[in-house]
Amino acid sequence: MLHQGIGLDAFNELSARKALHALYECCGSVVLAGDLAGGRPYQSRDELFRRADALLYALSESSVDTILQASPHIGQPPRSAMSHAEHCSVWDQRPEVRNELAKINRTRLERMLGPEGGYHNW
């Protein structure tokens, strides 16, 4: 939360330690955060996102699992076991809204997981 909205220029200017911290807040992986921080400066957000994609595809399945565990489903109650690492909780008292969010999350996970439950191009 500390680094939300700082912009690419400010991100590029952070010290290595602060850049690692900012990226870890976002992805929950020291390895991924360190590799991304080490690739600075980025000329555009597109360049940063392409680098992140390439690094994600190179991670082991267990590393991707760890990242996914740190990113709980949107709409889970704040401070729940599932949302302990969520950066920006989305919450609504209405069960129908929470159910719709759960449906969206299931669809998103189905797109990320292959037919056998493994990862594919997401």
Do residues 25 and 2 make contact, with C-beta atoms less than 8 angstroms apart? yes
Angle at 83 between CA 7 and CA 31, to 5 degrees: 55
- The residue ranking higher by pLDDT, 107 or 71, is 107
Total-model pTM: 0.59
Do residues 48 and 8 make contact, with C-beta atoms less than 8 angstroms apart? yes
Which of 48-62, 68-82, 89-103 holds the top average pLDDT? Answer: 48-62
Q: How much is the average pLDDT of 68-92?
A: 56
- Residue 95's Cβ-side half-sphere holds a number of Cα atoms within 13 Å equal to 0
Task: Measure the CA–CA gap between 91 and 9, rounded to whole angstroms.
Answer: 32
Which of 9-18, 55-64, 84-93 holds the top average pLDDT? Answer: 9-18
Which of 57-66, 71-80, 108-117 holds the top average pLDDT? Answer: 57-66
Q: Lowest-confidence range among 44-48, 59-63, 78-82?
A: 78-82
What pLDDT does 34 receive? 93
Do residues 73 and 88 make contact, with C-beta atoms less than 8 angstroms apart? no
- The residue ranking higher by pLDDT, 4 or 120, is 4
Q: Which two tokens stand for residue 79?
A: 């401070």
Q: How much is the average pLDDT of 16-30?
A: 87
What pLDDT does 72 receive? 57
